[in-house]
Amino acid sequence: MPITLEEDDSSCILHLQGELAISAALELKEDLLHALASQKPLYLKLAEVSEIDVTIMQLLWAATSEASRAGSPISVEGPVSEQIKAALNIAGLASSLEIQP
């Protein structure tokens, strides 16, 4: 499974892995909505992501926008490959997710 959501009393951690494409969009959307509704800090783990398509980028953009409006930005926890950093930077998400280009 390319997406796993962990939740405890203080935060939500969304582990993403592999090639994330439109086939993972519905699951990601549901997990993002759940995490945002919890009003807990949300951390993304992207270390195992090898590819990310525009559909996933759009979902992440919408989630970061909503989280920012709610006053609880989404953060990336752990390493991110240079390829994924570059893709997120091109999409304008690197600064929203606090990823250095």
Segment 2-11, tens digit of pLDDT:
899 999 999 9
User: What fold characterizes domain 3-90?
Assistant: Transcription Regulator spoIIAA (3.30.750)
Q: How far apart are CA 54 and CA 20, in angstroms?
A: 9
Reduced to 3 states (helix: H, G, I; strand: E, B; else coil), residue 4 is strand
**Residues facing residue 84 across a β-bridge:** none
What is residue 57's predicted lDDT score, i.e. its pLDDT? Answer: 95
Kind and range of the H or E run holding 51: strand 42-52
Segment 26-77, tens digit of pLDDT:
999 999 999 999 999 999 999 999 999 999 999 999 999 999 999 888 999 9
- Which of 53, 78, 63, 77 lies closest to 29 in space, CA to CA? 63
- Which of 60, 56, 44 lies closest to 93 in space, CA to CA? 60
Which tokens is 87 given?
Answer: 């893709």
Segment 80-89, tens digit of pLDDT:
999 999 999 9
Does residue 1 carry a pLDDT above 90? no
